[in-house]
């Protein structure tokens, strides 16, 4: 599967107001569930459970919350650009304003690690991160992703 196929214009949220890590995870879950309230709860529970193991804040204002989800058919990536940074328990103590969230079927262990590795490499690129911080148009952000994944 091509990594660029995992993200679409609908899975890019910009200028999102969030009060906390929990609130951000709720927004992510709501968007990834596509209106399915049961799935929304499952996604939130799994993302929150993962955060309890240790923060997914990557540093430099970036977090990558991720989880394996039962009964989903394909992986999904959601990108959320916050209007203001929030505390995400980052080791570097910086507030998070860019969130790359990933969910995968709970049966795809290797694929989960592969996607997570590629997203982590992407956000480790300072030029990419600066460019994404400078953009506010979903189409431009999507093009940036597709050209870099």
Query: Among 40, 46, 66, 81, which one carries the catalytic annotation?
Result: 66
The DSSP letter of residue 61 is T
Q: Strands 62-63 and 76-86: what pairing?
A: unpaired
Is the separation of the CB atoms in 147 and 132 below 8 Å?
no
3-state secondary structure of 128: helix
Q: Establish whether 71 is a catalytic residue.
A: no
- Name 109's Cβ contacts closer than 8 Å, sequence gap at least 6: 68
Is the separation of the CB atoms in 60 and 96 below 8 Å?
no
DSSP string, 89-110: --TT-PPEEEEEEEEEETT-HH
- Name 130's Cβ contacts closer than 8 Å, sequence gap at least 6: none
User: Which residues participate in catalysis according to the annotation?
Assistant: 66
């Amino acid at each position: 599967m091509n990594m660029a196929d995992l993200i679409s214009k609908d899975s890019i949220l910009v200028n999102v107001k969030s009060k906390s890590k929990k609130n951000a995870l709720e927004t992510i879950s709501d968007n990834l569930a596509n209106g399915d309230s049961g799935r929304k709860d499952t996604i939130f529970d799994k993302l929150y459970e993962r955060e309890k193991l240790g923060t997914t804040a990557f540093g430099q204002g970036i977090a990558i919350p991720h989880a394996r989800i039962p009964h989903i058919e394909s992986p999904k990536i959601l990108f959320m650009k916050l209007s203001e940074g929030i505390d995400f328990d980052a080791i570097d103590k910086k507030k998070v304003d860019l969130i790359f969230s990933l969910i995968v079927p709970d049966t795809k262990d290797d694929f989960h690690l592969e996607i997570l590795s590629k997203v982590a490499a992407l956000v480790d690129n300072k030029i990419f991160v600066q460019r994404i911080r400078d953009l506010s148009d979903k189409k431009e952000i999507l093009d940036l992703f597709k050209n870099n994944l």
